Structure 1
């Protein structure tokens, strides 16, 4: 198995890289922290013997001169540390930018960083366009993160300049950087979505408007699914659970649990005996909805490779609510009542045993703290 070392492990791209490594079952990466970058001997001790070094750390925002100096200095720190290694990584994958060498302080600094890194090893110079994806930092990582955050907070995105964007989902960029094999919910060819800024704002606004009522948007392709998952990541956990309307007449009750615009997918029910646990896994792209229709249960979730905190929702079939599982969060459902639990599930795609997009991961992991128990 490939052993990786990486800088920028706690950043947006770094977190997605670590999740994908876990999906692949590769060893946990050696993480190069700020203190390691500042000390060449410490750097060498961390990365020595790794197969591949991923240089993900960078400075993307701020004063132009600080951005330029920051990116050059980070590359210089890596080269100093590499020269101290007894068994340096055989390959360096650099999270570069399509703006490299474009005459701006940022672009020229990224180009200079690539030259420096190439002097100490075989360089895989990966020119990345605009990346988007779950848990991006608004007003920093991408316009997608910014628009999703504004909409999740009830606002309306502002479009100051309309231009075409080339967007790549961050998991696909992670797959390209680590050399992930084909066959999963990722695509290392980094397929782009080309979309105008105004069109993007209108698309996300339409998604948000419907989703406030629990409606699912059309999900015709991979980017539609991933944009929806990105928006949902900014809604979780504050917007959940979402109440459902129960309609009653002399015949009984009716609850609409899935309203999907031009959508497809798979709906199924399960029963669970008292104390039974279902789940203990996460998904990279699958949209999955839980609705308890009879009995009581606890839905528990933890963000993978990020925090030990567990978020909990107490749900009751007498007051149906929906909870959509965010991607890259391990989740489970536990019957907490004395009788049988009846749960309805919906996913946006049909189950494929060859590509299940389901990865085992316990919710309880290490020290934990309950940070939310709405419902």
Structure 2
């Protein structure tokens, strides 16, 4: 399939191009404001699908609303109509089309031209009235408040909030592109107006607060719930504004004659991740917990784990190494230790089900001893 993307230099178009490049069955043709209408006319005669993403939302001259939104769309409609090829057109309108402002009026007029083409000549038309779109490559101080906030906070610059309680509706760029591709593939049919889900409702103040938590997580090591929903999408977006020289950051390292201990990541409700090393012959541990639990994974070296029930005195011993991925769990009420029984340094990953609390560590020293 040959597809055309107008507004090829825009934020949404760049993301769309990245996704379409992953498809072996798609050839992409581009049109941007630097190109002339003659080239656009030639492209329309060749392609099988049009992503009409070009538009103007912050012009220096207000007349550009009409020329960049309404007139360009009418030109495409006229050319497609003359060709008689019924080439499907997907158009990115705006939620502002519902309001009486210059931008909204120009977008509404573009929609009307497309709907007329659809009714009169049965050309498939798909119109997206998008709210605020956010994601990687969005332009600060232009595309959205999310882009501006992410850019400034990541760079250590101030942000300005006039109304913290101001409501804002957001859609994430990956969700937008997924729906675009579904339309192109014929998986979405029906009304000319197509929506993107989910739509996230938040406020300007909450948005800024969340982004500051992302920034601070490098110091606290406490991650937000970045695996789902709006927080996931915002975190991905925030990280896209981190400059290469800040791709890395240091975490505390605690070192003693036994080896080192390094905390990597903490969660609000699912514990923390760390690793430690031990020199040959070194034993670490020798304590028990009432409620805390841990998972150990030896990734280098050879280890002997020993356990003793603090209640019955039952003893248990096991051996594991980096040669075989094997999780060893500590059980409440069993004192335990780990000894490097290899000839090289041992490296062990560790997960604990709760963040270490120095005031209430739930860690009590008790030697394991030897098997009776």
For normalisation by structure 1, the TM-score amounts to 0.62
Alpha-carbon shift at residue 88 of structure 1 (Å): 5.2
Equivalent position to 1:232, from 239, 243, 261: 239
Aligned to 1:148: 150
Distance in 1 between residues matched to 2:271 and 2:3, nearest whole Å: 39
Closer, same or farther: CA 228–35 of 1 in aligned 2, 3 Å = closer
The Cα offsets for residues 118-149 of structure 1, whole Å up to 9 and x where unpaired, read as 34432111111111111211111110001111
Aligned to 1:100: 97
* 1:114 equivalent in alignment to 2:111: yes
Alpha-carbon shift at residue 171 of structure 1 (Å): 1.5
Distance in 2 between residues matched to 1:20 and 1:195, nearest whole Å: 28
Equivalent position to 2:126, from 124, 127, 132: 124
Please provide the CA RMSD for this pair.
Answer: 3.2
Closer, same or farther: CA 65–218 of 1 in aligned 2, 3 Å = same
Aligned to 1:173: 176
Please say if residues 154 and 241 of structure 2, whose CA atoms lie closer than 8 Å, have aligned partners that are also in contact.
Answer: yes
Aligned to 1:315: none
Gaps of 5+ in 2: 118-122, 188-194, 276-298, 301-346, 352-372
1:17 match: secondary structure: helix
Distance in 1 between residues matched to 2:124 and 2:35, nearest whole Å: 22
Distance in 1 between residues matched to 2:35 and 2:86, nearest whole Å: 15
The Cα offsets for residues 139-181 of structure 1, whole Å up to 9 and x where unpaired, read as 1111000111110111332211231111100121122223267
The Cα offsets for residues 25-54 of structure 1, whole Å up to 9 and x where unpaired, read as 441322123355522xx2233233433211
Distance in 1 between residues matched to 2:14 and 2:129, nearest whole Å: 19
* 1:10 equivalent in alignment to 2:13: no
Question: Which one has the largest radius of gyration?
Answer: 2
The Cα offsets for residues 181-229 of structure 1, whole Å up to 9 and x where unpaired, read as 79xxxxx842011001111111111221223565532225221111001
Distance in 2 between residues matched to 1:135 and 1:214, nearest whole Å: 26
Aligned positions, number: 265
Closer, same or farther: CA 125–74 of 1 in aligned 2, 3 Å = same
2:197 match: secondary structure: coil
Distance in 2 between residues matched to 1:265 and 1:253, nearest whole Å: 17
Distance in 2 between residues matched to 1:9 and 1:343, nearest whole Å: 49
1:95 match: secondary structure: strand
Closer, same or farther: CA 177–220 of 1 in aligned 2, 3 Å = closer
Gaps of 5+ in 1: 183-187, 269-292, 295-341, 347-375
For normalisation by structure 2, the TM-score amounts to 0.63
Please say if residues 57 and 65 of structure 2, whose CA atoms lie closer than 8 Å, have aligned partners that are also in contact.
Answer: yes
* 1:222 equivalent in alignment to 2:220: no
Alpha-carbon shift at residue 249 of structure 1 (Å): 0.7
Aligned to 1:197: 204
2:232 match: secondary structure: helix
Please say if residues 252 and 263 of structure 2, whose CA atoms lie closer than 8 Å, have aligned partners that are also in contact.
Answer: yes
